Structure 1
Amino acid sequence: MSILSMDLIDKNCHRYLELYKKCVEEYPDTWHLDCQKPRNKLTKCAEMNPLVTLVRSRCSKHLELYDSCSKENPKDYDQVCVKHYNDFNKCAEQVVSEDGKT
């Protein structure tokens, strides 16, 4: 997720975001398998925010590439998937600026 998207999600779904973060920290090598339940709850909560939904819709290609990369590289996704993360972040920023909301 982009920094911008994460801020929106944190504002609206803080509880679920914290549960997901805690799970990822608890299972650093297998988070992609062990944290599906908290991730799904976070996703459902985030989908209730219209701006997050708009970002996810318009930037779906970038998000899918980042998600695939992070699943394929669970131990070092934060280093290997930087380009995909940055591409998604740029797209998200553009969507928000075009929509006129922050």
Structure 2
Amino acid sequence: MDVADNTVALVTKHCGLQLELYQKCVTQNPENWDIKCITQKRALAKCSEDNVPIIKHVKEMCDPFIKDYDACVMKNQQDPTVCLESLKRLFHCTEEHGKLPPTGPPRADAASGTSDAKAGAGYGYRGGI
């Protein structure tokens, strides 16, 4: 299982309800989901940060790039293609900081429903997610 698959598995495992509520809201509000579903989006983001260490780490390390991209998209809503360079910088940051250390993050064990907490011990995260 690669990093992305493992991350999705952990989000689904720990934040399934928040993910389901966000998906339902988006489906029910196709025209203005970005406005109508902000509460569900925030709940999913918080749960993910609290329960999936790699997400918090990447968000901390790439915060300036996230803010730059978000600001660009807000400023250029009529033509978000203007923000491709900001998006590329954000992508490169997530690629750099989303790599696993040798021990890897806690893994979702589908058979037992447990996670391997020791595997993430070497992450050095602040505040623990």
TM range (shorter): 0.5 to 0.7
Q: For the Cα contact (< 8 Å) 1:63–1:88, is it kept in 2?
A: yes
For 2:117, the equivalent position in structure 1 comes to none
- Segments of structure 1 that go 5 or more residues without pairing to the other structure are none
For 1:23, the equivalent position in structure 2 comes to 25
For 1:86, the equivalent position in structure 2 comes to 88
| Matches of 1:59 and 1:70, distance apart in 2 | 17
For 1:66, the equivalent position in structure 2 comes to 69
The 1:71/1:35 distance shift into structure 2, 3 A limit, reads: farther
For 1:33, the equivalent position in structure 2 comes to 35
SS in 2 for 1:97: coil
Higher helix content, 1 or 2: 1
Higher relative contact order (CA 8 A, sep 6+): 1
Post-superposition offset of 1:61: 0.8
SS in 2 for 1:88: helix
| Matches of 1:84 and 1:26, distance apart in 2 | 30
Q: For the Cα contact (< 8 Å) 1:46–1:52, is it kept in 2?
A: yes
For 2:112, the equivalent position in structure 1 comes to none
Say which one has the larger Rg: 2
| Matches of 1:25 and 1:72, distance apart in 2 | 26
Question: Over aligned residue pairs, what C-alpha RMSD do you find?
Answer: 3.2
The 1:28/1:72 distance shift into structure 2, 3 A limit, reads: farther
- Segments of structure 2 that go 5 or more residues without pairing to the other structure are 106-129
Percent identity between matched residues is: 27
Post-superposition offset of 1:34: 0.8
The 1:66/1:51 distance shift into structure 2, 3 A limit, reads: same
TM-score, length-scaled by structure 2: 0.55
The 1:22/1:6 distance shift into structure 2, 3 A limit, reads: farther
